[in-house]
């Protein structure tokens, strides 16, 4: 059993939860593979450099081959000259690949387990409801002591909360359905709304029915 912080109306209390419901040990290799996959899928893959055949310029030989006292040279496009082409340059490519769905789900479940095990999970209510308010939203995180680096998870898209925290450094907002292992591990703390906590517990705790929704 571990304790998590609960913020409600300015009051902070503790609640005991069973972290083992999300797993019994840290799956380091699975977490590493999942993070590498998500990072790789974010790469644009548009880097490109020119070969000597693609460099613009004349092909005229600079000087005659022999009897000049200088090294032989054919063109300024040579890779050994500044401004020349490159040998085996990078080309645009697609870096994306996918892990099996069960592995992605296991990685996310295990990432959540690490947060519960380390006492880095908070449940908070009192977020801005009528209109965006960075001051109000950040006060909730500061009340939990988790305002410096956190992923805030909601059950459904909350536009007011997204607008309230989008300019706060190292704080992200996402829904339960958009949560992935990389996002959980990216920030130090995991802060959930009460509805999101119930959804996470139902979706990822041991014995919970499998969700029919597509994993991110």
Distances, alpha carbon 67 to alpha carbons 60, 71, 80, 210, in Å: 18, 10, 21, 80
Residue 105 φ/ψ, nearest 5 degrees: -65, -40
Q: Is the model's pLDDT at 216 over the cut of 70?
A: no
- Domain regions of the chain by residue span: 2-43+96-204, 49-89
Q: Residues 22, 204: contact at Cβ < 8 Å? A: yes
What is each CA distance from 160 to 131, 132, 133, 137, 187, in whole angstroms? 6, 5, 8, 10, 21
Per-residue model confidence (pLDDT) at position 87? 94
Q: The domain 2-43+96-204 is classified under which CATH number: 3.40.1370.10, 3.80.10.10, 3.40.50.300, 1.10.8.50?
A: 3.40.1370.10
User: Helices 101-117 and 194-204 sit at what angle, rounded to 10 degrees?
Assistant: 130
Render pLDDT for 149-188 as a digit per residue (tens, 0 to 9). 999 999 999 999 999 999 999 999 999 999 999 999 999 9
pLDDT of residue 205: 78
Structure tokens at 183: 């996002």
DSSP-assigned beta bridge partners for residue 193: none
């Amino acid at each position: 059993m571990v304790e998590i912080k609960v913020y409600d109306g300015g009051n902070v209390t503790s609640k005991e939860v069973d972290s083992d419901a999300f797993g019994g040990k840290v799956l380091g290799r699975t977490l590493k593979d999942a993070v590498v996959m998500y990072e790789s899928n974010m790469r644009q893959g548009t880097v490109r450099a020119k070969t000597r055949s693609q460099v613009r310029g004349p092909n005229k030989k600079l000087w005659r081959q022999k009897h000049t006292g200088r090294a032989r040279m054919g063109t300024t496009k040579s890779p050994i000259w500044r401004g020349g082409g490159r040998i085996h340059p990078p080309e645009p490519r697609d870096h994306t690949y996918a892990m099996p769905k069960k592995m992605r789900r296991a990685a996310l479940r295990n990432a959540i387990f690490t947060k519960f095990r380390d006492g880095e999970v908070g449940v908070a209510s009192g977020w801005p409801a009528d209109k965006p308010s960075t001051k109000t939203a950040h006060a909730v995180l500061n009340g939990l002591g988790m305002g410096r680096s956190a992923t805030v998870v909601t059950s459904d898209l909350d536009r007011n909360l997204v607008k309230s925290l989008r300019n706060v450094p190292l704080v992200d907002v996402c829904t339960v359905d958009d949560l992935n292992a990389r996002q959980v591990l990216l920030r130090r703390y995991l802060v959930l709304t009460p509805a999101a906590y119930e959804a996470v517990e139902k979706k990822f705790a041991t014995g919970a029915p499998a969700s029919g929704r597509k994993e991110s």
